[in-house]
Amino acid sequence: MVAGRIYAGSRIMGRNAPGLGGPRASREADQQCLIRDANEAIERLNVRLKTGTARLELRCECGDPACLERILPTHAEYEAVRAYGSRFIVRVNHENPETASVVIEDGRFSIIDVVAGEARYQALARHTRHAWVDAVTPDDVTGHESPVPERSTS
């Protein structure tokens, strides 16, 4: 470990990491959103599994394209993460302290909240369950419709 840098997966993070913010944060947020979308599809399959069948593992949503780590939250744990548009589920120590803060950590995974401006906006805007999504769509996991975003008429 180099002073001032934290290594998570294959990514160098921390206050001395190159390219903080800007395009790097945007690429990381893009990767997080892509993996979140893939995990949503996997969780839809998990919901349909017969009782007693082992759940399918999800991918770490840390934003590192080289990370192939797996996590296995319960359905309730997964839904608790998805209730917030800017939260992601990652392996312990896979958070980037420049863009996210750890909300919950246990021995199996961490839940992070993306707090960096553009990365947070991207995470919220691309979360299909979040109120920022313009169309009402049935939620594939619960079957309920997602809320319609309220618009000011003034």
pLDDT tens, 89-147? Answer: 999 999 999 989 999 999 999 999 998 888 888 888 888 776 654 444 444 444 544 44
| Residue 44 in tokens | 């839809």
Q: Which of 142, 100, 105, 140 is nearest to 118 (CA)?
A: 100
DSSP string computed for 22-72? HHHHHHHHHHHHHHHHHHHHHHHHHHHSPTTSPPPPEEP-SS-TT---EE-
Planar angle of CA 23, 25, 30, nearest 5 degrees: 90
pTM for the whole thing?
Answer: 0.69
Which is it for the CA torsion 51, 71, 76, 123, positive or negative?
Answer: negative
pLDDT value of residue 87 = 93
Render the burial of 70-87: b for 16+ CB within 10 Å, e for the rest: ebebeeebbebbbebbbb
* Residue 28 within any structural domain of the chain: yes
pLDDT value of residue 39 = 96
Provide the residue range defining the domain that includes 114: 19-125
Q: How many domains would you assign to the chain?
A: 1
Higher pLDDT among residues 1 and 110, named by residue: 110
* Residue 140 within any structural domain of the chain: no
Residue 8 has pLDDT above 80, yes or no: no
* Residue 8 within any structural domain of the chain: no
Higher pLDDT among residues 4 and 41, named by residue: 41
* Residue 31 within any structural domain of the chain: yes
pLDDT tens digits, 22-71: 667 788 989 999 999 999 999 999 999 998 899 999 999 999 999 999 99
* Residue 32 within any structural domain of the chain: yes
pLDDT value of residue 126 = 83
Residue 21 binned pLDDT confidence (cut-offs 50, 70, 90): low
Contact 58, 89 (CB under 8 A): yes
* Residue 50 within any structural domain of the chain: yes
pLDDT value of residue 151 = 45
pLDDT value of residue 22 = 65
Contact 53, 89 (CB under 8 A): no
* Residue 142 within any structural domain of the chain: no
* Residue 88 within any structural domain of the chain: yes
pLDDT tens digits, 68-97: 999 999 999 999 999 998 999 999 999 999
